[in-house]
Amino acid sequence: MEAKAIAKNVKVTPRKARLVVDLIRNKDVAEAQAILKLTNKQATEVVIKVLNSAVANAEHNYNMDVNNLYVKTAYVTDGLRLKRMLPRAKGRGDVIIKRYSNVTVIVAEKESK
């Protein structure tokens, strides 16, 4: 059994968000939350919210034990791309692409042996 949470169109570039998500993959939920709390990146705020949402979904929708959860998969995909123009010399313009991302976290229960 697994539970997931998705945050769509978050104003963080996917490349920067992947750095944070790579830190918590295959970790216990408590350990992942501790790692995110001490990580000094912009994307940690979003990833913490998505992780907590996935844990809440597991607890309330599937009656899983919160102490027995781990981050099964976590990934970031490209979201929207806003194209903006920046005026340059001689009447030209540069295109600035503002990237958004989709953050997905899936938590599952550890199999007891």
Q: Please calculate the CA angle 107-73-108 and round it to the nearest 5 degrees.
A: 25
* Structural domains in the chain plus CATH codes: 2-109 (3.90.470.10)
Angstrom distances, CA of residue 62 to CA of 31, 54, 57, 105, 109? 22, 11, 7, 16, 11
Is the pLDDT confidence value at 112 over 80?
no
Q: In the structure encoding, which two tokens stand for residue 43, read together?
A: 């994307």
pLDDT of res. 113: 62
Quickly list DSSP for 24-63.
Answer: HTT-BHHHHHHHHHH---TTHHHHHHHHHHHHHHHHHHH-
Grouping H, G, I as helix, E, B as strand and the rest as coil, residue 8 is: strand
Average model confidence (pLDDT) for the chain? 95
pLDDT one-digit tens code per residue, 41-90: 999 999 999 999 999 999 999 999 999 999 999 999 999 999 999 999 99
Grouping H, G, I as helix, E, B as strand and the rest as coil, residue 110 is: coil
For the entire predicted model, the pTM comes to: 0.91
pLDDT one-digit tens code per residue, 9-33: 999 999 999 999 999 999 999 999 9
Residue 95 contacts residue 85 (beta carbons within 8 Å): yes
